[in-house]
Structure 1
């Protein structure tokens, strides 16, 4: 779970006018071998991502940024990976080219990853989390902690670290990237 937590300390770019820079910097993946999947619990993975969202929320709050932004997690069934990203868009404007369903329940996303079954032909389920914004209070975070607001100005903070999470983006010709994000 420490690898999930490390995402909160990675470089964070919030640039509403350059979505490509955001997803190349802010998108990470986690894969696990079958035996590793069996040793993980849904509750532990969910809790780790919730702590990561809270840490990103705090970073954004400390930077004093305003505007829309979302931390989100999804299961890339074709790659067999959990992926997460932060973008300067609300949950209903995430950069997917196909239908998706924003959700406040991360457990089904994690369960699908841990089960690693055959891909389903349904809208992609994406967990979203509120990580800041000028009108959000601590009470709002507790009540609405899974649909998030943050960033209106460009910002890049932190240094990339090591761990099993890897940035997604790389080669813009990579079909996996094109399949997940619009151009």
Structure 2
């Protein structure tokens, strides 16, 4: 099911509205979970390839719309929710709408591997009280706009 859901993202509504990033976020952001069976049966390479196909399809849609500016498709592992999330925004990779620190990457493999290896999705270890500062989380980025 996960691969099917990733493919469906390419056909979902898409809004590029640089003046209203909240509308972009609400319309273009998707949460994708996986059953225990999917987690055990899928190879990271299959999931990566599915996201790459989705990014290519979104790139084509944006080109067909004639959108002339920067746009980025991005994927991250939301460990708190136990999900992969993806979104498209009229922003560059260094200006994604996250409130905390993130590290943009061109390598989706480690993000997907972490998601697939998560045996207890949504369950996080209690942080060490001496180390309350969270490290940046990884975000895979793919340029899908005309001027990236």
Q: TM-score range by the shorter chain?
A: 0.7 to 0.9
Question: How far did residue 2 of structure 1 move?
Answer: 2.0
Q: Which residue of 1 aligns with 2:59?
A: 57
Q: Which residue of 2 aligns with 1:19?
A: 21
Structure 1 position 125 matched with structure 2 position 138: yes
User: 1:85 aligns to what SS in structure 2?
Assistant: strand
Q: Which residue of 2 aligns with 1:155?
A: none
Q: Which residue of 2 aligns with 1:48?
A: 50
8 Å contact from structure 2 (residues 70, 144) kept in 1: no
Question: How far did residue 87 of structure 1 move?
Answer: 0.4
Q: Which residue of 2 aligns with 1:90?
A: 92
C-alpha distance in structure 1 between counterparts of 2:81 and 2:20, whole Å: 26
Question: How far did residue 116 of structure 1 move?
Answer: 1.1
Alignment of 1:21-36 (within 5 A): 21-36=23-38
8 Å contact from structure 2 (residues 75, 140) kept in 1: yes
C-alpha distance in structure 2 between counterparts of 1:18 and 1:63, whole Å: 18
Q: What TM-score comes out, normalization by structure 2 length?
A: 0.86
User: 1:4 aligns to what SS in structure 2?
Assistant: helix
C-alpha distance in structure 1 between counterparts of 2:96 and 2:138, whole Å: 12
Q: What RMSD over aligned residues (CA atoms) do the two structures have, in Å?
A: 1.5
8 Å contact from structure 1 (residues 71, 129) kept in 2: yes
Q: Which residue of 2 aligns with 1:105?
A: 107
* Count of matched residue positions in the alignment of Structure 1 and Structure 2: 135
C-alpha distance in structure 2 between counterparts of 1:79 and 1:96, whole Å: 16
| Gap regions ≥5 residues in structure 1 | 135-148, 150-183
Q: What TM-score comes out, normalization by structure 1 length?
A: 0.70
Q: Which residue of 2 aligns with 1:161?
A: none
Question: How far did residue 33 of structure 1 move?
Answer: 2.3
User: 2:18 aligns to what SS in structure 1?
Assistant: coil
User: 1:6 aligns to what SS in structure 2?
Assistant: helix
